[in-house]
Structure 1
Amino acid sequence: MVSSPTTLTAAGLARAIRDRERSPTAVVESVLERIRERNDRTNAFVTVTDELARETAAEAERAIADGEPLGPLHGVPVAVKDLDDVEGVRTTAGSLLFEDRVADSDSPFVARLKAAGAVVVGKTNTPEFGLGTTTDNRVAGPTGTPFDPDRVAGGSSGGAGAALADRLVPLAPGSDAGGSIRVPASFCGVYGLKPTQGVIPNVSRPNGFASHTPFATTGPMARTVEDAALSLDVMAGIHPRDPFSVPKRNAYRDAVDRPVDELQIAYSPDMGTYPVDPDVRDVLEDAVSALERAGATVDAVDPDLGHDDEAILDAYYTMATVRWQSLLDNLEAEGFDPRGADRDRLRPYLVDLVLEADEPTTREYKRADVVRTDVFDGLQDLFAEYDLLVTATVGTTPFPHGEEPEAIDGVEIEPLRGWVLTQPYNLTGHPAASVPAGSVDGLPVGMQIAGRRHADDDVLAASAAVERRRPWHDEYPE
């Protein structure tokens, strides 16, 4: 019996298409059919680009017939987060203000995916302007995890995570300014990597330096580590319009097959300060043993980040609030009035988070930079001795829509972001991935693996080692 293209990995599809065992047009039709049948379940896609996908697939088929050189993702379907632009396709950013906006060019990483032969099949859901660790907006509504659609998929790349876990598409890059790749990867049981800052270019205008504070970057999301590495190879590399972009240092796909017996790994489920549910801890204890069985040295540690989780979150909010206020300034420059006449068109969550927030003073902003420096130094001290740090990605499992946790294991937390362990790496720029670690009562748990800056290959190698020892590919709901 021939398997459906929707069950195959991106790497498997690319090989089958190159070997003429699969047709790009047939692959795309299978994907579009599955999206039609299942998208109502999770609300992963905001826009499905049927016509564009069919045209691109037909071009891919002609290239094969004509014997043209084929890119590494030739004919492979991909979804794009609805914060990023695809030429001729609307980019709503989850906002009523942009409900009908159509992009006139591709985001740089989208252009690179297309040049590698990928076929864009649609746009995935995101909270308004990407502000949120869950995915909901007034354009498309909420996105749920395929493991239980009544529970959140995480955010802000929740649509991407849900689309992958429901096998609607094999590749769906996300973006991450505070955990927006890793949180949905954890809640949807898929793999997501926030690479070192600058590895994938981010060309933002009018402020070309907007990705700096806190660090924000695009990153690969997929069902397998190999697929993530393959797409990272395509998207990575310096860009003349991104002041933080860096040259590509190596082939990330090669790291997937690399042994890990020489890696020194530090393990701290709570990163020394964050509350983590006991059931999540139990899953992590079991999952981290896979790295030991693969030959790595794993030591339990108690990291010193210089501050507790509340102080780190306060510093993050100080920086993020300035960034979010700048977003509203940009909207005003485009002719909107988010602080006045258009205020009611914004999601109440965003109004509370930004418009009702106290604007930090310059002194508070610079004090947050001191906290950021202490976190950076604490991680650098640890990475002077260890190659990687393994923790929980999220301190809890997916929760019902609108029921953000107010406590974990009896410890009160800030309900919007106090349950994630991802923000330190957005303050410092280190690479960090969420790897499926197991489940609690049928709900997925993610394990966060972080490494030295520009050692993304170490993170990928360790992630692949976990995948080989504890494969998760048969755990997705049907």
Structure 2
Amino acid sequence: MTEIHTLSATRLAREIRNGDRSPVAVVDAVLDRIDARNDRTNAFVTVTADRAREDAQAAERAVEEGRSLGPLHGVPVAVKDLDDVAGVRTTFGSRLFENNVADEDDEFVRRLEAAGAIVVGKTNTPEFGLGCTTDNLVLGPTGTPFDPSKVAGGSSGGAGAALADQLVPIAQGSDTGGSIRTPASCCGVFGIKPSFGRVPRVNRPDAFADHTPFSHTGPMARTVADAAVMLDVMAGPDPGDPFSLPDDGTDYVGATERPIDDMQVAYSPDLGIYPVDQAVRDVVDGAVGAFEDAGATVERVDPDIDCEREDVLHAFYTFAKVRWESLFDNLEEVHGLDPRGADRDLLRPVTVETILESDPVTTREYKRADVTRTTVYDGVVDLLREYDLLVTPTLGVTPFPHGEHPTEVDGVEVEPLRGWLLTQPFNFSGHPVGAVPAGLADDGLPVGMQVVGRRHADGDVLAASAAVERERPWADAYPE
């Protein structure tokens, strides 16, 4: 029988439903593999072994008693350590919350568990999700399984590493500036940043916090079909989220089986403004052929973003500073912490430098950033009036060593913390974006590409991503 850790979530769920596999055996195998291999990558922050085994026993009884089973019944899932699972600690990657235990589940966790999924632990993230690599003072750095000495990306780096090292079949990520797509690229897995509002995020005390830049919760997996099942479960309106979208009736699992021979695909190797290393260009140039092999029409384009990459990054930092300043206000007012004073030494230096020691953002600067955001939005919308999809590299580089950040990409000087990403424009616009493995560079490290769909066309993104997977499967690329 095939080893459990290699199986997809959809196959596990099917075999559990048919009585061919035991949920207890599945969870035991996953926990054993985490115990044996987590030290390689440092993917998991917390492993909920006792809770998971109890849930697996309950899942097994449900099968034996012939009860109605959800689409993820008995399937292990990992949750990012920025989000809450009742009774389990949520550290937010910060020493300020090293021993913090959540009182209740986040909404998407409730939905996953209602569908039968079993939470086996929490995955690593940078402090408060502020970073494009995953490192913190609680657990340290997370590495890509392809070379654990190199970064797994961030901020959902623990999720990406857990999937690529086959510790779990599915995991949840979140994305404010590339945090699903960056680790998907660094770890060679699939993820989707759904349309803004597709998966509700119920935030308090500020229900409107995720609006600028757009923050998305979404699925990550080794297969597109697994991510589609997760999205089917996680998506749907919630009155606690003022931006949650109504159900538009899309069958996300069904979308993965749709042909794409009527699709027009625009391919830009750099979005017209970003430097990209030749090694990345070569891999993505080759991978784009999969759309043509699947019957789509591909045309190379030069998008008219009408602003410089420095303008995009400056606008992103403007929004991010306001957002994380508000977070620190919340730490003071709600949690009684003092991040600007007595508790400052518990924060990572990069958090202090990026937020606390940077110049305050004025209202005029904030609104000028909104104008840049509008320019980016218009450029993406105008291009997608002519094409069904836009395809670009996810990153300008392959994974790099821990503690280092690129200062130059393809001979062009870049801002080290975020200047090597091509992801931020789509957090300005809210479009759905699939993060698809494009292949391995000559050095054996993974390269990813973004598949951007029209507004609210999440089904098109899944259909195209699944077509690429069929034409150029990546399942055998993961290192043992």
TM-score (ref. length: structure 1)? 0.99
The 3-state SS of whatever aligns with 1:117 is coil
Match of 1:16 in 2: 15
Map residues 362-381 of structure 1 onto 2, 5 A cutoff: 362-381=363-382
Q: Distance in 2 between matches of 1:472 and 1:365?
A: 42
Match of 2:35 in 1: 36
Map residues 235-384 of structure 1 onto 2, 5 A cutoff: 235-249=234-248, 250-333=250-333, 334-384=335-385
Q: Percent identity?
A: 69
Q: Distance in 2 between matches of 1:160 and 1:448?
A: 18
Match of 1:462 in 2: 464
Q: Distance in 2 between matches of 1:366 and 1:353?
A: 20
Structure 1 residue 66, shift from structure 2 partner: 1.1
Instruction: Summarize deviations over 1:160-186 as a string: whole Å, max 9, x none.
Output: 000000000001110000000000000
Q: Distance in 1 between matches of 2:366 and 2:460?
A: 33
Match of 1:225 in 2: 224
Structure 1 residue 251, shift from structure 2 partner: 1.3
Question: 2:50 aligned with 1:48, yes or no?
Answer: no
Match of 1:473 in 2: 475
Match of 2:160 in 1: 161
Structure 1 residue 279, shift from structure 2 partner: 1.1
Q: Distance in 2 between matches of 1:142 and 1:67?
A: 44
Match of 1:151 in 2: 150
Match of 1:93 in 2: 92
The 3-state SS of whatever aligns with 1:384 is helix
Match of 1:70 in 2: 69
Q: Distance in 1 between matches of 2:301 and 2:2?
A: 45
TM-score (ref. length: structure 2)? 0.99
Q: Distance in 1 between matches of 2:325 and 2:141?
A: 24
Match of 2:426 in 1: 425
Q: Distance in 2 between matches of 1:470 and 1:78?
A: 26
Structure 1 residue 5, shift from structure 2 partner: 1.1
Instruction: Summarize deviations over 1:378-400 as a string: whole Å, max 9, x none.
Output: 11110110010000000000000
Q: Distance in 2 between matches of 1:67 and 1:190?
A: 34
Structure 1 residue 3, shift from structure 2 partner: 1.1
AA of the residue aligned to 1:63: A
The 3-state SS of whatever aligns with 2:475 is coil
The 3-state SS of whatever aligns with 2:287 is helix
Instruction: Summarize deviations over 1:59-98 as a string: whole Å, max 9, x none.
Output: 1011111111000000000000000000100000011111
Unaligned runs of 5+ in 1: none
Q: Distance in 2 between matches of 1:433 and 1:422?
A: 11
Structure 1 residue 322, shift from structure 2 partner: 0.3
AA of the residue aligned to 2:458: D
Q: Distance in 1 between matches of 2:375 and 2:396?
A: 23
The 3-state SS of whatever aligns with 1:121 is strand
Map residues 411-450 of structure 1 onto 2, 5 A cutoff: 411-440=412-441, 441-450=443-452
Q: Distance in 2 between matches of 1:178 and 1:447?
A: 15
Runs of 4+ aligned residues of structure 1 deviating over 6 Å after TM superposition are none
The 3-state SS of whatever aligns with 2:226 is helix
Structure 1 residue 248, shift from structure 2 partner: 2.2
Q: Distance in 1 between matches of 2:440 and 2:397?
A: 11
Map residues 189-228 of structure 1 onto 2, 5 A cutoff: 189-228=188-227
The 3-state SS of whatever aligns with 1:234 is helix
Structure 1 residue 349, shift from structure 2 partner: 1.1
The 3-state SS of whatever aligns with 1:262 is coil
Instruction: Summarize deviations over 1:14-64 as a string: whole Å, max 9, x none.
Output: 000001110000000000000000000000000000011001001101111
Structure 1 residue 306, shift from structure 2 partner: 1.6
AA of the residue aligned to 2:368: R
The 3-state SS of whatever aligns with 1:173 is strand
Unaligned runs of 5+ in 2: none
Instruction: Summarize deviations over 1:362-383 as a string: whole Å, max 9, x none.
Output: 0000000000001111111101
Instruction: Summarize deviations over 1:87-111 as a string: whole Å, max 9, x none.
Output: 1000000111111111110000000
AA of the residue aligned to 1:323: R
- May I ask how many residue pairs the two structures share in their alignment? 477
Structure 1 residue 418, shift from structure 2 partner: 0.3
Map residues 84-123 of structure 1 onto 2, 5 A cutoff: 84-123=83-122
